Amino acid sequence: MKNIILLSAALLFSASSPAQNWYAGGGAGFVTFDDGTDTLSPTNIYFRGGYQFNQYFNIGLESSVTVSPDQIPSAPSVDFDVTAVTFYVRGGIPVNESIWLYGQLGSTNTELTGEFQGAEASVDDTDTMYGLGAEIDLGSKSTYLALNYSVYNNNDGADVTAFNLGVGFRF
């Protein structure tokens, strides 16, 4: 329900500017999973794409998958990875012609998978995602550096957060 309200607000305010752009990008995600007992830090790659309604609002979809699993000291032979799929709405403000700062809110499905000698076990959860970020133009209005910190899951005693660093393209 929250996402529908946010999407409706974004569409309502989108009429204030003629700028309309699709965007896509990807990069590295430095993920942390903390359940209060153990902390995991797998390295992920992420891909995202969406639609920029105006200089203040966009919507998008992001997928993050582990490329380098982590192990915890209590189970050193078990590889753990974290996967997340997120729908989000971002609202922000241009600081100048090259930098856009934003806050984001969305819904994410996060899955933690443990693998031991070919056998896998996983748990997943859907929760609210929120975060902050910036897009910094790289000399043209079509290519930008993307930085953001997101909290993907924060319930049932487990936190999944990530610092994402990547490159994006507007078209």
The verdict on residue 73 lying in a domain is: yes
Residue 14 lies in a domain: no
* 13 in a structural domain: no
Q: What tens digit of pLDDT does each residue of 145-161 get?
A: 999 999 987 766 778 99
Q: Which of 126, 119, 116, 121 is nearest to 160 (CA)?
A: 126
| Structural domain containing residue 151 | 2-8+22-170
Q: What is the pLDDT of residue 38?
A: 86
pTM of the model: 0.82
Dist. CA 110–CA 63, nearest whole Å? 10
Does any domain span residue 65? yes
pLDDT in tens, 106-147: 999 999 899 998 899 988 889 999 999 999 999 888 999 999
Q: Kindly state whether residue 62 falls inside one of the protein's structural domains.
A: yes
In a domain, 155, yes or no: yes
Burial of 129 (0-12, 13-18, 19+ CB in 10 A): buried
Is 16 part of any domain? no
* Residue 126, in any domain of the structure: yes
Neighbours of 48 (CB within 10 A): 21
How many structural domains is the chain composed of?
1
CATH of residue 102's domain is 2.40.160.20
Most confidently modeled of 9-13, 43-47, 108-112, 139-143?
A: 43-47
Nearest to 153 by CA among 47, 43, 64, 80: 64
